[in-house]
Structure 1
């Protein structure tokens, strides 16, 4: 423990150094890294001596960060004071973040957040733990799937619980909530399919926010979406077949571009002309015929994989796929400097681009980076995504509820 004078002057000196924004980049890195599945860490880790206990001491004001000791909390105050009030406001909306219409909502949100439940147990209770497309939805599944390269097909659910065939009726109005979607697709609210369907539904919502004003989605024949930074989606590609139901009579082309795409899959092309299968042997979804019944034979969902960064691959992509929309799910813009040339490219292209992140704080940091880099305000302000994944992230860097594709914003 230092002297009283050291304790007084230390924060002042640290605050002076922070005028060059060192604290911002440190916070950005640790926030993004922890949201990738790391265990909760002391917010003051690295500020003084190493942590000797679990981070159980919460900030009394915001309740969003935790420390291993009083000394680490004091040492970290010069950093945390810049965000404390903002986090306090965000914590007031925790109930809204956890608000889902599903029968399993409490089990998948508060129970996991308060460590009375785990993602593994949630999936295990439904016979989905480490199974096909569900494999990567828990930490142990991610590790088990690290060497799996094949496309992982099928819902592993009864037909009544999943969208394995054409909708019973065409989409008559814009979908605004998960409840709207489940009702339209005649799926009961105890079905967990939203845990995977948040990928295509987030694309649908991004298109409604950005393209509805400039592009008539009812008359165009093709929709090109450049999808940046795919990760575990690479083992869940079958869920994107639902884009056909969401954009009927349109050929949707998804260009998945990112460093997580393995080199041996670079250039791989996947045609989705059937919905992901249920587990019933005699269901119509098992027919050898294409089960996209409406529209011309060319209508479907085409996915192509591209290894590398978007700014390096764009010239090749643009030869036959100029984007109508760019989407970057769970982008972590504030965490990686590699985003800078991509943001410059998007600004030059002048194409609508929507980004998502796990929580409002991560989105706030990302929005600041975007505005600084582009010199423009956001065209789509930070907002809660109605189609965020309804299974809370375990061991997030904050004590805020965090969800995949939780908040979105755009330029």
Structure 2
């Protein structure tokens, strides 16, 4: 964690290990930086304290964590590299970026968009579900049961991106979604990081929102300039290892059905920069149905303040 008092006239003296004794959210490298930052922090400190009192409720957000699938990691019984290596998915496919020794997000390689699960068919959702969703998904077990995936599958490490979107749509009261919802369900996704290197996993939204056209617009400084303005059409699920699986049908084959109720269009758009710098232009004609920022933690609140102030004015 970065020292909250960084840039207060003197250099940081070391790691930010000294946390605010009241809220416990922000941290400092020294007493000096903590004292100098107090005037800026005191107004937000009480609010942070109230939020931290609700931390247990926040941790119940069902698709942020994947304990059933990754008990060893959650309990820190082994490193992430070891966990991935034992499953033969270390530094391969979409898993390439799931450990510290993987490439950084700044080295985005567009050709990796088609990276698959590198898992057997039975351990990942590589094709359409056997049955439609008949109830809300409230936990990883609900999801794994619906997709006929065993709970020991590591797929949850990547699936939390699309499932968090699905859950956020529920919380926002945008259900029930039907093809008559409108032309497109538009979602603004702020501050993407390593998920930029795992975009094919978002194709699971085709199963989570059957018959609904979706457009997800990613905004953030981590989107490389060479990807700015790119539009990506996802028309098939991320693929498994087995060559005889139905998921090996080409995107062109699936594309014939993109405009049918069964295979709606899923469009991803990438824009470099901060949301608050461009939100007036992008919301001039129409507003998104949902704005989501999965990587915006409480400790980063101050850096997100301009965006929060702008978003609060959207009705």
Fold shared per TM-score above 0.5: yes
- Structure 1: 5+ residue stretches without partners: 1-39, 310-335, 379-410
- In the aligned structure 2, how far is the partner of 1:95 from the partner of 1:49? 37
- Which among 8, 16, 27 is matched to residue 47 of structure 1? 8
Q: Give the corresponding residue for 2:135.
A: 173
Q: Give the corresponding residue for 2:97.
A: 136
Structure 1 position 356 matched with structure 2 position 293: yes
Q: Give the corresponding residue for 2:267.
A: 303
- In the aligned structure 2, how far is the partner of 1:70 from the partner of 1:354? 37
Q: Give the corresponding residue for 1:275.
A: 237
- Which among 42, 49, 52 is matched to residue 91 of structure 1? 52
- 1:340-379 mapped onto 2 (5 Å cutoff): 340-343=277-280, 345-346=282-283, 349-358=286-295, 361=298, 369=306, 372-373=309-310, 376=313
- In the aligned structure 2, how far is the partner of 1:83 from the partner of 1:295? 48
- The SS at the match of 1:43 is coil
Q: Structure 1 residue 207: deviation in Å?
A: 3.5
Decide whether the 8 Å contact of 1:98 with 1:109 is kept in 2: no
- The SS at the match of 2:292 is strand
**Structure 1 outlier segments of 4+, above 6 Å:** 291-295
Structure 1 position 154 matched with structure 2 position 116: yes
Q: Give the corresponding residue for 1:36.
A: none
Q: Structure 1 residue 298: deviation in Å?
A: 7.7
For residues 379-400 of structure 1, what are the alpha-carbon distances to aligned partners after superposition, in whole Å with 9 as ceiling and x for unaligned? xxxxxxxxxxxxxxxxxxxxxx
Decide whether the 8 Å contact of 1:67 with 1:73 is kept in 2: yes
Question: Alpha carbons of 1:177 and 1:344: their partners in 2 closer, same or farther (altered >3 Å)?
Answer: farther
For residues 186-235 of structure 1, what are the alpha-carbon distances to aligned partners after superposition, in whole Å with 9 as ceiling and x for unaligned? 2222222222222322332343344636x751545853435455554443
**Bigger radius of gyration:** 1
Q: Structure 1 residue 295: deviation in Å?
A: 8.9
Q: Give the corresponding residue for 2:40.
A: 79
- 1:197-346 mapped onto 2 (5 Å cutoff): 197-210=159-172, 212=174, 216-217=177-178, 219=180, 223-225=184-186, 227-228=188-189, 231-254=193-216, 260=223, 262-263=225-226, 266-272=229-235, 274-287=236-249, 290=254, 296=260, 299-303=263-267, 305=269, 307=271, 336=274, 339-343=276-280, 345-346=282-283
- Which among 95, 102, 105 is matched to residue 67 of structure 2? 102
- The SS at the match of 1:130 is coil
- The SS at the match of 1:134 is helix
For residues 114-156 of structure 1, what are the alpha-carbon distances to aligned partners after superposition, in whole Å with 9 as ceiling and x for unaligned? xx76544443443333211122334432338715220242101
Q: Given the two structures, how large is their TM-score scaled by the length of structure 1?
A: 0.60
Decide whether the 8 Å contact of 1:275 with 1:285 is kept in 2: yes
Question: Alpha carbons of 1:276 and 1:139: their partners in 2 closer, same or farther (altered >3 Å)?
Answer: same
Question: Alpha carbons of 1:78 and 1:117: their partners in 2 closer, same or farther (altered >3 Å)?
Answer: farther
Q: Structure 1 residue 354: deviation in Å?
A: 1.7
Task: Say how many residue pairs are matched.
Answer: 306
Decide whether the 8 Å contact of 1:48 with 1:75 is kept in 2: no
- The SS at the match of 1:142 is coil
Which of structures 1 and 2 has the larger relative contact order (alpha carbons within 8 angstroms, sep 6+)?
1
Q: Given the two structures, how large is their TM-score scaled by the length of structure 2?
A: 0.75
For residues 355-385 of structure 1, what are the alpha-carbon distances to aligned partners after superposition, in whole Å with 9 as ceiling and x for unaligned? 2243552686588646744674x8xxxxxxx
CA RMSD, aligned part only? 4.0
- The SS at the match of 1:212 is coil
- In the aligned structure 2, how far is the partner of 1:198 from the partner of 1:349? 28
